[in-house]
Amino acid sequence: MGPVRLLLDTSRSVRNERVPRVPGTSP
């Protein structure tokens, strides 16, 4: 569960960094 969660968090952060946040969309 630990490493899996880390992978998910990393992929999520990378996705957020790659895709610019657009006002109006849920974070």
Per residue in 1-27, pLDDT (tens digit) is 577 888 778 777 766 666 666 666 655
Task: Scan for tokens 């969660």, then name that residue.
Answer: 5
27, 21 contact by CB (below 8 A):
yes
Nearest to 12 by CA among 24, 1, 23, 4: 4
- pLDDT number for residue 26: 57
One-letter amino acid for residue 9 of the chain: D
- pLDDT number for residue 27: 56
Rg (CA), the chain: 11
- pLDDT number for residue 12: 74
- pLDDT number for residue 4: 83
CA distance linking residue 24 with residue 7, whole number of Å = 27
- pLDDT number for residue 11: 75
